[in-house]
Chains A and B, each alone.
Chain A
Amino acid sequence: MADKQLACMTCEPKGLCRGRGLLTLKDGAWANNPLAIQILGICSALAVTNRLENSLVMGAALIFVCVGSNLLVSLLRKRTPHRIRMIAEVAIIATFVIVFDQFLKAFYWDMSKQLGPYVGLIITNCIVMGRAEAFALQNPPVLSIVDGVANGLGYAVVLAIIGFFRELLGTGEIFGYEVLSGQWYTPNQLMILAPGAFFALGIVIAVFNAIKGPEPQENK
């Protein structure tokens, strides 16, 4: 509770982070969506989206790790010497990833098998590290949690969209239930294989670009 009050006093006068909190939430989940706008953390976005279920679990994992590491980094931000902050961040992130991995192994063994190394690879997911470095190091704990939720959510939603279309088009099923009847729809196997992932993500990013308007993208 003390933390909450402290955070709110440092926030804008509008009360419980209403001012910056909402802005942070919007920014992370939509305007600066880590996946579709900033193109961070795409490895796992491609790898686990062959089924909607996998995408949702992976989204949940990222929200958990992002919130946890943001909170801890933010709490320790005044104690962490500047020069070793990277190592400290990596250690914190790895801790949360290990917790989630052990949780999956204990309760959802099949899911853990399916996700394979990609849970461990959250450590090198640029989103988590980026938020810890860019946001949690400068902001109070509560706001950092909001930011973690927002970015995790932004990632999870895009993942769910890709997972939905890939499973629907690739197998004609959603969550293993047949949606597109096999009588008139021939499942397009390509969508659940590797190339389908690249096409799907490319199209999703293009749609985000189109909605956001003709703001000049970086031209490399």
Chain B
Amino acid sequence: MSETSAWVIFIAAIFTNNILLTNFLGMCSFIACSGQIRTSIGLGTAVTFVMIMTTILNYVIYHFILVRFGLVHLQFIVFIAVIAAFVQLVEMFVERFSPRLYFALGIFLPLITVNCAILGASLFMIIRKYSFVQSVGFGLGAGIGWAVAIVMLAGLRQKMRYSNIPEPFQGVPIAMVVTGVLAMAFMGFAGMVSIQ
């Protein structure tokens, strides 16, 4: 595990081990915000940025503080605090220096705190014992993978608005089934590279 190159992990996190389509993380905002391509691109970008930064921060905090002082069992509460604080910081920063971007991202920034993909990426990084460079590759890849998936679903859902769907399946259920088909398509990448 530990000798896999960061580049391989980066590719694998996008395609073969897509954090959304194989690990099911970040489903809530995935279903809720995939109505339009524009919004999903905004959200995807924000998630990618926050994910890579928080994996780096959490890596440093985990290895240099929690492990050193034997506080590993507190990892959940520390990680979620780091993520919440970072999101808040980014929000203030963006608001101050780039109001246009701030309005473009709108409510997506605070929503990211409760996106389980962010916390999940940090937890996977610990469980799979990644080194620092590998963690960076994984964080970036997982974020891009999530963004790719949500943009694809948004495109499909825009088309689906014109199709005739059985009544009980309208709305969320059909989105789930379509995501299943997407996941099936992504299974085609399996074997290309693999992690875990």
Complex CA gap A199/B21 in Å reads 12
Complex CA gap A121/B80 in Å reads 10
- List residues of chain B with CB within 8 A of the CB of A47: 23-25
Complex CA gap A43/B23 in Å reads 8
- List residues of chain B with CB within 8 A of the CB of A124: 80, 114-116, 119
- List residues of chain A with CB within 8 A of the CB of B116: 43, 121, 124-125
Complex CA gap A123/B82 in Å reads 14
**By the criterion of a CB under 8 Å from any partner CB, how many residues of chain B are at the interface?**
44
Contacts A40-B28, A91-B77, A94-B76 given; indicate if A198 touches B172 (C-beta within 8 A). no
Kindly state whether residue B4 has any CB partner on chain A within 8 Å: no
Kindly state whether residue B31 has any CB partner on chain A within 8 Å: yes
Kindly state whether residue A197 has any CB partner on chain B within 8 Å: yes
Chain A interface bracket (under 10, 10 to 19, 20 to 34, 35 or more): 35 or more
List which B146-196 residues lie within 8 A (CB) of chain A: 166-177, 179-181, 183-184, 187
Kindly state whether residue A134 has any CB partner on chain B within 8 Å: no
- Contact yes or no, A206 B183, CB < 8 A: no
Kindly state whether residue B42 has any CB partner on chain A within 8 Å: no
- Contact yes or no, B84 A121, CB < 8 A: no
Question: Which of B6-14, B91-99, B120-128, B135-143 participates in binding chain A?
Answer: B120-128
- Distance in Å: Cβ of A67 to nearest Cβ of chain B: 19
- List residues of chain B with CB within 8 A of the CB of A41: 28
Kindly state whether residue A53 has any CB partner on chain B within 8 Å: no
Interface of A is mostly: helix
B21, B116, B167, B174: most-surrounded residue (chain A CB, <10 A): B116
Kindly state whether residue A42 has any CB partner on chain B within 8 Å: yes
Q: Report how many A-B pairs have Cβ atoms within 8 Å.
A: 124
- Contact yes or no, A193 B123, CB < 8 A: no
Nearest A residue to B172 via CB reads A39
A residues with a Cβ closer than 8 A to B are 39-44, 46-47, 87, 90-91, 94-95, 97-98, 101-102, 116-117, 120-121, 123-126, 129, 190, 193-199, 201-203, 205-207, 209-210, 214, 217-220
Given A42-B24, A46-B27, A117-B120, 8 more A-B residue pairs with CB atoms under 8 Å apart are: A42-B27, A47-B24, A102-B73, A120-B76, A120-B123, A206-B173, A217-B170, A219-B171
B residues with a Cβ closer than 8 A to A are 21-28, 31, 35, 73-77, 80-81, 84, 114-116, 119-120, 123-124, 127, 166-177, 179-181, 183-184, 187
A-B contact pairs, 25 of them (CB 8 A): A39-B28, A43-B120, A44-B24, A47-B23, A91-B77, A94-B76, A94-B80, A95-B77, A101-B73, A121-B25, A121-B119, A125-B116, A126-B114, A194-B187, A198-B177, A198-B183, A199-B177, A199-B180, A201-B176, A206-B166, A209-B168, A210-B168, A214-B167, A217-B171, A220-B171
